[in-house]
Amino acid sequence: MGLGFAQTLALCTCWGAWALAAHAQSAPAEHAAAPAAGVASKSEPAKAAAQPIKMRYSQYLKTYGAPLKLEVKDLIPRSLAQVLVYPQAVTLGSLDVDALAAQHQVNTIIFLRDVQMQGNLIQPESDYGPTLVFQGNLTADNAFFGGSWVEIAGNLTVHNLLVGDYNHGALRVGGQTQAYMVYNSDHSMSFGKKLTARYHLGSDEPNTLSHAQASQLFIAPVWKALLKSAEGDPHVFGVATGEIFLPYLARNQNPLQRPDLAKAGKKQESR
């Protein structure tokens, strides 16, 4: 008899945590000493001051009291895990959470209050990734989730594109979710309250756009790659979303054209 979803996900994620820790331990010293990933310009003191704290999970419990309310309880090896904690509300630039976890040699990142991204949030590795916990709200321009287990207790707001890539990770949102487009590529997504998205695309979502309509929403090279991944099927797209979207998201670029914003800008200019 096959494993249930929670058991399978727990096994995959625990393996992922081990693999991530092994990757972090093997990282060169100069990489570990790099500035904190994702923090905005040093010319903005409030943002530069938002530094995380590294501690064992047992120390986290003593310091902050309440244990993490994860759906799969064994994601964090309680006696060994090193966690990275952001105690205060933070405003960040763009953030690669895999790089942040490797830099600090942790397998769990916890944001205790609201997180405001002034760019893109990406978790590129589709096979594994750090456990991500947002106890407050998360806002980003674009968000890409791969093999991590991600829990957001508050609301999730993505101004443009929300991507779930492959089936080794999962996204759980307790509050409301707003996005311009949700692109789900065989990814487990659960929304506790209302999900508001203008468009849905992907390999296992009811696509709300024809190809002609969708072609107007993506920048040309992204649309060309999406068509190739669809292999001629007019109703679904393929699963190689990391190869398609990450080259742009990692440079803090937007894969969408957003013609509605262009039209709004023209209306304002004409006034």
Number of other residues whose CB lies within 10 A of the CB of residue 41:
10
Write a three-state SS string for 171-205: EEECCCEEEEEEEEECCEEEECCCEEEEEEEECCC
Tell me the CA distances in angstroms from 72 to 164, 170, 183, 259, one per residue in order: 19, 11, 24, 40
Helix (H, G, I), strand (E, B) or coil at 116: strand
> Any idea what DSSP says for residue 211?
H
Q: What is the pLDDT of residues 95-114, one digit of tens each?
A: 999 999 999 999 899 999 99
Mean per-residue pLDDT of the chain: 77
pLDDT at 28: 35
Q: Could you report the per-residue pLDDT of 185-229, keeping only the tens digit for each?
A: 888 899 988 899 998 887 665 667 777 888 889 999 998 888 887
Pair type for strands 120-122 and 95-96: parallel
Q: What is the pLDDT of residue 264?
A: 45
Give the model's pLDDT for residue 213. 83
Query: What is the pLDDT, as a whole number, of residue 92?
Result: 93
Question: Are 146 and 166 spatial neighbours (Cβ–Cβ below 8 Å)?
Answer: yes
pLDDT of residue 181: 93
Entry pTM: 0.77
Q: Which runs of consecutive H residues, i.e. helices, occur in the chain?
A: 5-25, 29-32, 45-48, 57-64, 97-104, 211-214, 220-230, 241-249, 259-270
Low-confidence ranges of the chain (pLDDT < 70): 1-49, 67, 71-80, 203-207, 232-239, 261-271
- Provide the 3-class DSSP secondary structure of residue 118: coil
CB atoms within 10 A of CB 238: 19
What pLDDT was estimated at residue 205?
59
Please give the Cα distance from 241 to 244 (Å, whole number). Answer: 5
Tell me what pLDDT residue 142 has: 97
Six-digit token string for 215? 């072609």
> In this predicted structure, what is the pLDDT of residue 5?
37
Nearest to 205, CA basis, from 244, 178, 235:
235
Amino acid (one-letter) located at 237: F
